[in-house]
Each structure stands twice: as structure tokens, then as C-alpha cells.
């Protein structure tokens, strides 16, 4: 019997098709129906396959795979649709060079490794911010603020003696608490022109003697335009008596002496010392200075006094007097408490203010 590759594979198929219990001898007659190319067997009648017989394709071993000829390379067909998508993406995507973002660091305490002392380092961009705001105050959007003409240091009369002028500065500061500069200027103008003389032949206007002699009701009427005028009337009358009895009719020449007067806080005391006596011993921090420096991220403080101590820890002393004028005017014209004009602010345009409203800055750039 001739053995061939076809007969061997056929034998494996038959063995896999029928269970082992129904073992039968493989003969030429039993294999004749699977033979190929044999004309004699084609004419013989073959029995009908059983219904339980498995299809021949189901039993062909799947492990035998066709080996691919490595020398033949099938060309890869590229879909035109994919090519179009790839081209569109390459044309639309542009890579811009990465920009280094400025990292803002607030005032912070750093320990000196050599000396072991704790040093206060200022905010890393404070000098640039200060210069931009000063330029705005002098020739930009923040010029012509109310404080420039009606601030407390501007309200004293120039024709009076230095002693009376210092008293004017003190009264202007006492009236300025929680009051706009415009209202404060009106009240000071009435005191300087309408306060009656203490006696016949004495000058009319604002001085210590006339304040001591005036009736509290009349004084209250003269300053009614300022905030909390009832309390301020009491403070001014009480402070006048202290100045007469303890300071020889002049204002105190120390921070402690000024703060001992009723209605005088740290802000008034430091501004009065700087303006009246020409000695800058601290920063006069009002609501504008406190609010704006916190918006810039220079520090996180809860009140003006805490802000004063934080600023004095690192700000150069030659700027202690100027910063009040600088930020009060900036807060009155551009960085308002309500409705900040970020579109007019150079800090927002240059990316120096972390609290700037982006929509307002974008609109301001389009307008410019």
C-alpha cells in the first residue's frame, strides 16, 4: 500500500472524528471515499455520512499555519481618508515656544545659614510693581486723585503759624476717619472760615483757643458732613483740653503722645508725625493700602495695623511716607473698592497683578 501525505492527514481526521470506543481498522476501502484523484473510487458508491459526523473543517488542526515567505512583501494600502486627516492635523497644529511663567513670592521669612538670624525677604516683583504704579500716579490713569489736592497734609492753611498749622493737620486727620477726602475738605473749610473767635478781637477760624471755646452743638453742625461726626465732636473737644493742659498748646511730638489723644489711631499718629513734624517713624496704613497690597499678594494680613508691621519689615524707609500717597490715590482712581478698572491699569496689562480681572484686561488691550 502506497503511503502519502494525504493518507496520513486523512487518517488523523478519521481518528478525531470517531470516538475511541468505535475503533475500526483503517482499510483501503474505508479510505477510498476520501481519496483524491483516483478515478476508480469516484465511480464507487459511497455510504451516506452519518448525521453525527463532524464537518471536516471543524477537525482540521488550527495549530498548523501556513508559513509566509519572508522574501515576499505585501504592499500596505493607505486609506486616503486617513491621509487627509493626518495632513489636516499637521497643518492646523502649531507649537509655540514655552514661556516661563513669573512666580510671585510674597514677603517671607528666611533663616540666614551663616548668622542663624531670620531675615524678611520682600516680594520678588515689588520694585517693578511700585515703579509702574508711581508712573501711573504721576502721568497715567491714576493721576489727579482726590488725595492730591484734598488729602490731610494739604488741608492746613499756609498763612498761619507753624504751631497752628500742626494743629490743622491733627484736626484734619481726626476728621478723616471713615470719611472721603472731599467731605473732609468741606468740613475743614467750614472750621477755618466759620469757627467763631473765642473772644472779641481774636481771629476767627481754626485754632486751639477757638475749639476750646466753641459750643459742642455748633462744632457738631460745622462738621456734620463727615462720618461719625457726633463722636468726633467729643474727641476734638477732649483732645483740645489735653493739648492745653499737657502739651503747652501744641500737638505731641511722639507716636505715643499722639496715640494718647482720644480718636487718634496708629495711622493718624504716623501720618501726623511725618507731615506735621517732618519725621517718618512708620507707615500710615489706611483701608486702601491694606486692601491693595493684599490684592497684589505681598502678604496676607487681616487689618491695617498688621499690614503696617508687615510692610515695615522689608520696605525701604525712604518710601514709608510716599506709599500712603501712592496707594491712596491709586485706590481712588483705578483700583477702586468696588468696580476696579483693570482695563485701565498697567499692572494688569503687564501681568503684574494676580487679582486683575482677565475680561477687563482683554477689553482694555483691544481698546488700546
| Residues carrying an active site annotation | 267
Which residue, among 282, 275, 300, has the nearest Cα to 290 in the 3D structure? 300
Q: What is the dihedral of CA 14, 18, 20, 21, to 10 degrees?
A: -140
- CA 299/CA 96 separation, integer angstroms: 34
Judged by DSSP in three states, 311 sits in helix
What does residue 278 show for φ and ψ, rounded to 5 degrees?
A: 75, 20
Q: What is the dihedral of CA 315, 321, 327, 328, to 10 degrees?
A: 150
Output helix, strand, coil percentages for the chain, rounded to the nearest 5. Answer: 50, 0, 45
Q: What is the dihedral of CA 201, 203, 204, 205, to 10 degrees?
A: -160
118 CB-contact burial (10 Å; exposed 0-12 / middle 13-18 / buried 19+): exposed
Give me the residue label for grid cell 482694555. 364
Amino acid at each position: 500500500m502506497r503511503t502519502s501525505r494525504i493518507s496520513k492527514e486523512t487518517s488523523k481526521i478519521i481518528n478525531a472524528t470517531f470516538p475511541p470506543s468505535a475503533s475500526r481498522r483503517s482499510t483501503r476501502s474505508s479510505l477510498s471515499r476520501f481519496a483524491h484523484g483516483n478515478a476508480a473510487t469516484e465511480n464507487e458508491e459511497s455510504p451516506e455520512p452519518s448525521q453525527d459526523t463532524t464537518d471536516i473543517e471543524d477537525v482540521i488542526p488550527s495549530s498548523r499555519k501556513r508559513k509566509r515567505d519572508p522574501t515576499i512583501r505585501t504592499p500596505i494600502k493607505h486609506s486616503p481618508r486617513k491621509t487627509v486627516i493626518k495632513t489636516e492635523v499637521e497643518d492646523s497644529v502649531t507649537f509655540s515656544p514655552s514661556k516661563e511663567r513669573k512666580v510671585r513670592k510674597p514677603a517671607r521669612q528666611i533663616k540666614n545659614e551663616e548668622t542663624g538670624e531670620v531675615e524678611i525677604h520682600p516680594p520678588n516683583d515689588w520694585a517693578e510693581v511700585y515703579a509702574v504704579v508711581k508712573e501711573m500716579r504721576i502721568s497715567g490713569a491714576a493721576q489727579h486723585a482726590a488725595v492730591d489736592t484734598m488729602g490731610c497734609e494739604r488741608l492746613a492753611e499756609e498763612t498761619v503759624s507753624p504751631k497752628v498749622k500742626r494743629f490743622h493737620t491733627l484736626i484734619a486727620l481726626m476728621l478723616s476717619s471713615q470719611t472721603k477726602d472731599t467731605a473732609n475738605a468741606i468740613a475743614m473749610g467750614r472750621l477755618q472760615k466759620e469757627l467763631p473767635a473765642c473772644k472779641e478781637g481774636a481771629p476767627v477760624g481754626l485754632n486751639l483757643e477757638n475749639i476750646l471755646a466753641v459750643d459742642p452743638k455748633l462744632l457738631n453742625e460745622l462738621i456734620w458732613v463727615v462720618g461719625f461726626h457726633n463722636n468726633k465732636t467729643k474727641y476734638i473737644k477732649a483732645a483740645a483740653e489735653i493739648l492745653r493742659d499737657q502739651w503747652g498748646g501744641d500737638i505731641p511730638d511722639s507716636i505715643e503722645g499722639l496715640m494718647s489723644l482720644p480718636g487718634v489711631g496708629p495711622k493718624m499718629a504716623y501720618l501726623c508725625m511725618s507731615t506735621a513734624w517732618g519725621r517718618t517713624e512708620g507707615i500710615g496704613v489706611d483701608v486702601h493700602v491694606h486692601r491693595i497690597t493684599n490684592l497684589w499678594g505681598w502678604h496676607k494680613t487681616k487689618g491695617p495695623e498688621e499690614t503696617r508691621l508687615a510692610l515695615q519689615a522689608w520696605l525701604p524707609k525712604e518710601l514709608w511716607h510716599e506709599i500712603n500717597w501712592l496707594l491712596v490715590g491709586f485706590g481712588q482712581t483705578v483700583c477702586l473698592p468696588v468696580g476696579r478698572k483693570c482695563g485701565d491699569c498697567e499692572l494688569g496689562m503687564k501681568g503684574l497683578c494676580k487679582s486683575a480681572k482677565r475680561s477687563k484686561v482683554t477689553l482694555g488691550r483691544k481698546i488700546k
